[in-house]
Every structure is written in structure tokens, then in C-alpha cells.
Chain A
Amino acid sequence: MTTPVSSMLLVLLASVIGSMGAVFLKLGAARLKDIWSLLNWRLGVGVGLYVGSSVFYGWGIKNGQISVLYPMVSLGYVWTLGWGRLIFNERLTSQKFMGLGLILLGVLCVGLGSK
């Protein structure tokens, strides 16, 4: 069984949407004061994007190997590094790059090992 490019694109899209969900969760989390502030629109958008991302992921894995497609979800970590820098002005240190590199390598190995 091979994995079609369309499935890869769908999972790639899912990873981008999911990483944007994390951005909105962080924006909403910054405004948390009490239990009612959990109902702010930013957190709502964040959760919505997560659900949307899982829909695209589910659509993508219909035709293709999960062992190839699941590791692609972790590309979302790369996007969040970018969002963190652009939106929250977070520092991208060599420590973060090395940590992320090891994580991506690991997820890829587990994926390939699951074939």
C-alpha cells in the first residue's frame, strides 16, 4: 500500500491548522483570570481549529499508511516554532532546534518502525 500525495497534503494541512490552534489557545490562555474566562473566543477558535485539524487528518489517513502519515503531524512542531517567533516573539535557541530535531527524528523512526 502506497500513500498518495493527496493524503500527504491533507495531513500537512492538518498539521498547519493544528499549530494555528495552539497559537489561539496560547492567546486565550494569556487572558485567563477565573473559571468563566475559559469561555473566551480565542480559546473557542483554538479548540475549533484542533477539531478541524483532526477532521483533515482523519480524511487524510483514509487512503494511506498511518505509519507514514502520523509522523507528518509532528511537522506541526516546526510551524509552532515559527508562530512562536512571529507572534509571541519567542527566542529560537539552538537548544530548541536540537530538541526539536531529536523529536522529529524519533517520531520518524517510530513511524518507519511501525510499517
Chain B
Amino acid sequence: MQGLQSNLHDRIEVQEPPVIASSRRRLVLMVSCCTLVSAAAQILMKIGMTRLTHVDVWALATNLPLITGYALYGLFCLMMILALRDGELSLIYPIISLAYIWVTVCSYFLFHDTLNPLKLVGILSVILGVAMLGRQKADL
């Protein structure tokens, strides 16, 4: 019985009111922008780590990329907490995978990583997946 009820629930949700659909779309867009911050943080951490030849307090305290990276990561976490307050976990959490895509794209330009057709298909697929989560007309 409960299964049937939740099934009905899901079907009703497919035609969600326009107001909810547009706020969901906005949330997906906002979280997508936040992943840029996370990607920037990860790249700065990588740059900082490669500069770090030995670990001591002075080397850590003067490593600007590393410090900025951690600060940006903290900012990203704060933004995610705020997003989670208003949005569904099952909607927001998968969007964070976009950060991985930005890092892959930036690594091509910054660290001369290779890009191949398989990677490009993957990048496209993740972006399509996030777009699907933000789709206003949930008629699929």
C-alpha cells in the first residue's frame, strides 16, 4: 500500500507547479556556479602542493595558492550548506560533480593535460545530466 502511495506521489510530482519548477531551476544554476569556486580551489591546491618541496610552518604560511585554495574550499562548503538548507539533497549533491568537469577542462589549459574524445563525451554527458536535473518541464 505504501509503495503504491509513494508511486502515486511520484507521478503527481512530475507535474510540479511552475513556481517550484522555476525555483528548482534557479537552485541548480546557483549550485552549478558554486562548483566553479570548488574547481578553482582544487586547482590552486594542486599548484600550491607542487610548489611545496618541504613541509614546515613558514613554507605553508607563505604558500599563497595553497592558502587561497583552502579559503575558497571553505567558502564553497559554506555555500553548499546554504544551498542544502533550501534544496533537496538528492538534487544538489550530484551537481557537485561539475567541479570535476571544470578541473578536467582547466587542466587541459593550465597543466597541458590531454583531452580525448572519451573525455569530451564524458564532459558533455555530465553537463547534460545537470541540465536534466534543472529542466523546468519535467515531462520525461
Which A residues have a C-beta under 8 Å from some C-beta of B? 19, 22-23, 25-26, 28-30, 32, 38, 43, 47, 70, 74, 76-77, 80-81, 83-85, 88, 90-96, 98-114
A76 and B126 form a contact (CB under 8 A): no
* Contact among A38, A84, A100 with B89 in the assembled complex (CB-CB below 8 Å): A84
B104 and A30 form a contact (CB under 8 A): no
Q: How far is the CA of A22 from the CA of B119 in the complex (A)?
A: 28
Report yes or no: B89 in contact with A22, Cβ–Cβ below 8 A.
yes
**Is there contact, CB below 8 Å, between A95 and B84?**
no
B80 interfacial by beta-carbon distance below 8 Å: yes
Question: B55 in the interface, Cβ–Cβ < 8 Å?
Answer: no
* Given A29-B82, A99-B132, A103-B97: A109 in contact with B89 (beta carbons within 8 A): no
The closest CB in chain B to the CB of A82 belongs to: B90
B118 touches A106 (CB 8 A): no
Minimum CB–CB distance from A1 to chain B (whole Å) comes to: 18
**In the complex, A46→B122 CA distance in Å?**
30
CB within 8 Å for A81 and B90 given contacts A43-B81, A99-B130: yes
Check B14 for interface membership: any CB of A closer than 8 A. Answer: yes
Chain B residues at the A interface, C-beta cutoff of 8 Å: 9-10, 13-14, 77, 80-82, 84-85, 88-91, 93-94, 97, 100-101, 104, 116-130, 132-133, 135, 138, 140
Most-contacted residue by chain A among B85, B89, B127, B140 (CB, 10 A): B89
A107 touches B126 (CB 8 A): yes
B122–A32 touching, CB < 8 Å: no
A77 touches B93 (CB 8 A): yes
Tell me whether A83 and B89 are in contact in the complex, defined as CB-CB below 8 angstroms, given that A91-B13, A98-B132 are known contacts: yes
Write the nearest CB–CB distance from A57 to chain B, whole angstroms: 13
Show 8 A/B contacts (Cβ-Cβ < 8 Å), sorted by A: A19-B93, A25-B84, A26-B84, A47-B77, A70-B100, A103-B125, A103-B129, A113-B120
- Complex Cα spacing A98 to B42, Å: 28
